[in-house]
Amino acid sequence: MRLHQPRQELSQDEVPDPRPGPGQLLVRVQACAVCRTDLHIIDGELDTPRLPVIPGHQIVATVEEVGVGVEDPPAGARVGVPWLAWTDGECRFCRTGRENLCVQGRFTGLDVDGGYAELAVAEAAFCHPLPERPPAEDLAPLLCAGLIGHRALRLSGDPASLGLYGFGASAHLVCQVAVAEGRRVFAFTRGGDERTQAFARELGAVWAGGSEDKPPEELDAAIIFAPVGPLVPVALAAVSRGGVVVCAGIHMSDLPSFPYALLWGERVLRSVANLTRADGREFLELAARIPVRAHRTTYPLAAANEALADLRSGRLEGSAVLVV
């Protein structure tokens, strides 16, 4: 399923099988979760360096063939292919453990073809080993929704009380981690969305309400998953002095002007950019131990446009996953 032009539906195309180069893997896709970043690419909200492009960066696959120089993983192994596709390893960010900020970084489903396909090519060094169980459709959402949520949670500090603005693919996974760690979770959804609020409470949130509602207590931190700039001052008003607000999306609508008093008191406003391989190793181990369960709706590959439309409209509970 390929994007030929932004703001158009994906087309179902027959293309030549890709071939792995040195250091690369040819993988057979089992499942690929649908991410809001895919929507930002398709809707023209992010620049697309190459067109046409196959989206998808939450890939569970088996290794079909290994390129020259690859010793691990072997053919037949199960791997996860995430958003971070390649870094130069030489820039000041890579040299200081911040490969997520690499200025030459390439990303799956944006700079290189992704997982809305039967076959894909990925750099072996950037793939994550996965267990044979659980099913691919359960693992796929962990590879971006889970990883980005995990990085956002760690960058929020060590909050006893945590607000989650936008309770979708990432937030429903972060909620499970935060509850397992003994944190009090407060879920903020679209106004009047009682179904999603009930879903949040089922996963352990102590309170759920509308995005503009005032929580029953001051929060230590908040993570904004919804790509809605006006939520930033709302979240800043909800956190206490010294509180942290993390913007977890790659794209967000413009932030409105807000009074300095909302930031004063050593409150912190920060963003999350991409992820590192270390994030992946840490979260996948943690998710297996808790365990974290992805709530997902599955679609066949040819129904990718339907899955994207359901995500765009807010009809989903949890994650959408394409099963190949």
**Cα–Cα distance measured from residue 101 to residue 105, given in angstroms and rounded to the nearest whole number:** 7
In tens, the pLDDT along 32-73 reads 999 999 999 999 999 999 999 999 999 999 999 999 999 999
How do residues 171-208 score in pLDDT, each as one tens digit?
Answer: 999 999 999 999 999 999 987 789 999 999 999 999 99
How wide is the angle at C-alpha 52 spanned by C-alphas 49 and 53, nearest 5°? 70
User: What are the chain's domains?
Assistant: 24-141+294-323 (3.90.180.10), 147-271 (3.40.50.720)
Give the β-pairing of 161-165 and 219-224. parallel
- How do residues 215-249 score in pLDDT, each as one tens digit? 999 999 999 999 999 999 999 999 999 999 999 99
Query: Of the candidates 125, 127, 109, 106, which has an alpha carbon nearest to the alpha carbon of residue 117?
Result: 109
For residues 184 and 94, give the distance between their C-alpha atoms in angstroms, rounded to a whole number.
Answer: 35
> What Cα–Cα distance (Å) separates residue 243 from each residue in 128, 176, 232, 246?
33, 21, 13, 10
Cβ atoms of 287 and 310 within 8 Å: the answer is no
Residue whose tokens read 């359960």 = 138
- Global pTM value: 0.94
Output phi, psi for 34, to 5 deg. Answer: -95, 130
Q: Which of 242, 10, 257, 281 is nearest to 151 (CA)?
A: 281
DSSP single-letter state for residue 38? H
**Residue 42's Cα: distance from chain center in Å?**
16
The three-point CA angle 16-19-21 to 5° equals: 150
- The pLDDT value given to residue 247: 98
Tell me the one-letter amino acid at 307: A
Cα 315-321-324 angle, rounded to 5 deg: 140
